[in-house]
Amino acid sequence: MKRSARPSNGFTLVELLVVIAIIGILVGLLLPAVQAAREAARRMSCSNNFKQLGLAVHNYHSAYKQLPIHGVGTGSPPNGAAPFGSVDATTNWWTNYGDSNAWRLSALVGLTPFMEQQAIWDEISNPSYINAIDPDNRLTVAWPPMGPTVQFIQYRPWVTEIPMLRCPSDPGVGLPAQGRTNYAACLGDSMEWSVRGPKQHQASRGGEVVTNQTWALRSLAADRGVFVPHKDSKFRDILDGLSNTVAFAEILTDLGDRDSRGTQSINGNPPNEIRLNPSYCVDNNQLDPERPKYWATGIPTENANNGRGFKWADFRPNFSGVHTIFPPNAPIGGGNNSGQTGMFPPSSRHQGGAHVLLADGAVIFITDSIESGDLHQEMVWQTPVNGVSVPGSQSPYGLWGALGTRASRETIQEQLNQ
């Protein structure tokens, strides 16, 4: 009698190969979705950081009846002592003071106690004997209250990374940056005078910053954003409405790779070239035609220590300011030194745009394609060459420019936060 063959309980080699192939295909399909989900989570976290920043701004205004000043600080006291740097108050205000911050602190510094960063604020607002690069050895001369100028890496608060000021999609970390920030104050739709404002540093008066009539007139004409350097402002000054005006915007931090959003090109006669034509750098072929997000070979760029977003506590536009001229992720309009002059658009590591914080606390995502008017038209300032961009004009830069001005009385018809 013939015995029947026992059925096989295993898989054949062909069947195993088919299963492995199917699993491989599924994994290949799944990985992009996982990566997209991760970026969506990072983008949501970035938006939440901005919402917390908006709450800090409103709580600050409730406490002090004004917005934090961008470009606030202290002057060099007579016979001041400093652990490092110059104490000579007769030198210009960009000198490496160790006994004052020379009125160079950003609005973010004043917001620290409202961002759950009371410990940092306590160290800033009191004398400190800590040397950040040698913390085990106490200084014999204390840092002054409100700290030294921002480039001192020995001063611990200036090199502290504040998590709420960092976008999780931005990989920048460490030197040559100090404490990085991905969020910057809106300075309006003109770069003219946005590093000066209406007041001038007077070294002969102990480092005091006093109103200069000429500077004040230029600032009134051009400094049209929520924040004006060295000047206090209130919500009542935002005549266009808090929900129609950008207060802060997102920026990426420089990675040292010549990304045109992270470092600026250096030109010969700024701010005239960029002020007359925001598209100057593009028109003069300064971008690499094969990699248009990067500066072309041979184009000089900013010093490596002055990358975008490198100093959260420094008020200069390169470090903590934005303009609403070019749309998000456009190249920086290169100035001539240390981030003091130039046009600085928002930017981000997110795909297709960047977050902005409106003055009412709303956070919206602005795309790179937002309507931005005529990007070859001269900026608004005191004495425009073309006779068109006179003080009080509506923004030449369309909806995007209008969102950056606080009191131009321009109608915003678009629904921004859908």
Report which of 175, 152, 201 is spatially closest to residue 314, judged by C-alpha positions.
152
Give the pLDDT confidence of 289-308 residue by residue, as tens digits. Answer: 999 899 999 888 877 788 89
Model confidence at 13, in pLDDT bands (50, 70, 90)? confident
Give the pLDDT confidence of 315-355 residue by residue, as tens digits. Answer: 999 999 999 999 999 999 876 554 457 889 999 999 889 99
Question: How far, in Å, are 134, 196, 253, 337 from residue 257 at the CA level?
Answer: 30, 29, 11, 19
Give the pLDDT confidence of 170-205 residue by residue, as tens digits. Answer: 898 888 888 999 999 999 999 888 888 887 766 555
Question: How far, in Å, are 12, 256, 375 from residue 310 at the CA level?
Answer: 60, 11, 27
Q: What is the pLDDT of residue 18?
A: 78
More confident residue, 95 or 256: 256
Model confidence at 94, in pLDDT bands (50, 70, 90)? very low
The dihedral of CA 379, 385, 391, 396: what is its sign? negative
Q: What is the pLDDT of residue 89?
A: 46
Q: Tell me the pTM.
A: 0.86
Model confidence at 123, in pLDDT bands (50, 70, 90)? very high
Asked if residue 319 lies in contact with residue 339, where contact means CB atoms within 8 angstroms, the answer is yes
Cis upstream peptide for 32 (omega within 30°): no
Tell me the two tokens of residue 181.
């920030």
Question: How far, in Å, are 30, 152, 271, 275, 338 from residue 393 at the CA level?
Answer: 52, 41, 20, 15, 30
Q: What is the pLDDT of residue 74?
A: 84
Q: What value does the mean pLDDT of the chain take? A: 84
Q: What is the pLDDT of residue 96?
A: 56
96-123 mean pLDDT: 88
Report which of 412, 418, 61 is spatially closest to residue 244, judged by C-alpha positions.
412
| DSSP per-residue string spanning 256-322 | SS-BTTTS-B--SSTTHHHHH-TTHHHHTT-EETTEEEEEPTT--B--GGG-TT--TTB-SHHHHEE
SS3 101: coil
Q: Provide the residue ranges of all domains of the chain, joining segments of one domain with +.
A: 15-417
Model confidence at 392, in pLDDT bands (50, 70, 90)? confident
Report which of 251, 200, 194, 181 is spatially closest to residue 226, judged by C-alpha positions.
194
Between CA 78 and CA 378 the distance in angstroms is: 43
229-238 mean pLDDT: 91
252-259 mean pLDDT: 90
Question: How far, in Å, are 140, 219, 301, 379 from residue 373 at the CA level?
Answer: 57, 23, 27, 12
Q: Residue 378 pLDDT more than 80? A: yes
